[in-house]
Every structure is written in structure tokens, then in C-alpha cells.
Amino acid sequence: MLVVIALGGNALLRRGEAMTADNQRRNVRIAAEAIAPIAEHHKLVVAHGNGPQVGLLALQAAAYGKVEPYPLDVLGAQTEGMIGYMIEQELGNRLPFDRPFATLLTMIEVDPNDPAFDNPTKFIGPVYDKAEADRLASEKPWVFKQDGDHWRRVVASPLPKRIFEIRPIKWLLEHNAVVIAAGGGGVPTMYTQSDGNGRALVGVECVIDKDYASALLARDLDADLFVMLTDADAVYRDWGTPAQKQIRRAHPDALADMGFAAGSMGPKVAAARRFVEVTGRNAAIGALGDLSGIIAGTSGTTVSAAATGVAYGG
């Protein structure tokens, strides 16, 4: 069985923790302990988040004013390498020595006409007061929006269109490698017209949602199971209210109108629904510590074309 696992940001950096290498290493080690038994019995692709790591690199770049900050596509590539290195090493310490690993810098194409570019909504980087945000907006092609009492830069979050490295990923899986790919939603790229040379592939100042990118990766690989790991043990209807109910199993159509939060569970549910609708195979959402139960279908939330409506639990 081929399993694609998308690690949420909490698997790398827990809420409120300092963004140190030691903290990230410790959390990756915990994730590897949960994932290694899956890799022993199945083919495995691991994707991951990178929001805090990109934010840290952006802050470090802003503190060094002698050069222009690196663009988001370059920062994304940096974090793919950094996080992939840690995952490779910690998984490698728990699997047989001869099991191959590979981390791929994964470029993902977006559409320049995606409507997301007309309304940037993804907050990135540090907070500013209004005066500083206005100054930066006048100096750089940046857009700022209010985030609570402060102002932050926002960028577009277009849908992923194509994964360029899908062929080498398939080749690596055929040779039993554990593959780490599409980290942080992949490196956003698009085609532009180049004078006299036809199309040219360029990086883009945007952020691709990692759940949508991971779902595309799982679909393109024809994965048997797509799992998104987060800090919640399952998807809940009416989360945060006295009426909240844990969803144990659901048909994708039954989740369509439940109104999950756009900044947290919404993209995961949408990605799961899309994967199931296209492939007819199962997707699941749950906590890292419950991974073995999620694979077995006894923990988390399973989205399945074979389900009838919604089944609630615990």
C-alpha cells in the first residue's frame, strides 16, 4: 500500500515553542517514532508544513539590511531542504540501514490567472504598526492587512496546478525509497513569456496551501491512503461549541456544507474531499499519536466514498 502523510506544523514546532533547531529536532524525532512503523510495512511519501520556518528566515533576513530579503520561493526551497534533512535522519535512525531516503525540492506550478492573486489573504512575516506597514508598502510591491492590533504582509495562496517532480518521485517509490516531497506546499512557480525564448519558469511570491499540495501529490501518485496529521484527534462538527461532535467517518458530500474554519480544519477537509472524489480512495485526518489507528480506520476521521452520510463518535 502507498501512503501519503502530510505532517502539520505542530509535528515540527509546537504552539508557543521557541523556533530553535533543538526544538524542531525533538519534534521531528517524535514524528519519526510514529511514522517509522508505517514505513516498515508500506510505501511512504511524507509532506510537511513550513510556516514557522519561513517566518523565521524572513525575520532573519529583515534584520540584515545590507541585501534585499530573499523571495518566498527561495525561502520555501531552503526550508524544504532543512526540514527534509531532519526527517530523513530521524526516520533513518529507526528503519533498516539499507532503506533508501530522498528529499526532493518540489516545484509546483500555479496559474498566473488564479483569482487568489487579486485578493492576497495569507499572512506572513512579522507584525508592524500602521506607519511602518505604510512605509514598506511604498518601498516594496507588498500588500498589508490588519491582523488584530497590528499589520502584516499578505500574499496570495493560489491552488496547486502541477507537480514538476512527479516522475522522479514515482521512480524513487518503485525503488522502495521513503520520499519527502512538497514540503510547505512546494516551491511556487509559474510560466511567463520570455523575450525570444518562449516560456520561462519563474518563482512566485505566494504561498501554496500544504494540504491542497499534498492532496495533489497523493492523487498524482495514485496513493491508496492520504493522511493529514494535525493537533486535533479528529474533525469535529460545531467545533468549540457545546454541541460539538467528533466525526468518525463521512462521505465527502456530507461534509460539503458544514462550514469548517478556513484557517485550520477547512483546507484539510476540502483536500480530503477532493482526493476521495477524484480517486475513490480514502483520506483521513487526525493526530500524530494516533497514526497507527488512523491507518487501521479506528482513530481520527476517515473520509470515504463508501461511507453513508456521517457517523459520529466519542
Q: Which residues are catalytic?
A: 9-10, 122, 210, 268
CA distance 181 to 220: 13
3-state helix, strand, coil in the chain (%, to 5): 40, 25, 35
Question: How many residues comprise the chain?
Answer: 314
Find the Cα–Cα–Cα–Cα dihedral 103, 264, 154, 56, rounded to 10°: -50
Residues 6+ apart with CB under 8 A from 71: 203, 205
Cα torsion angle, 61, 62, 64, 70, sign? positive
CA distance 275 to 307: 15
Residues 5 and 38: beta-carbon distance below 8 Å: yes
Q: Tell me, what amino acid is at 99?
A: R
CA distance 93 to 35: 12
Output Rg (C-alpha) for the chain, integer angstroms: 20
Helix (H) or strand (E) holding 248: strand 245-250
Residues 219 and 271: beta-carbon distance below 8 Å: no
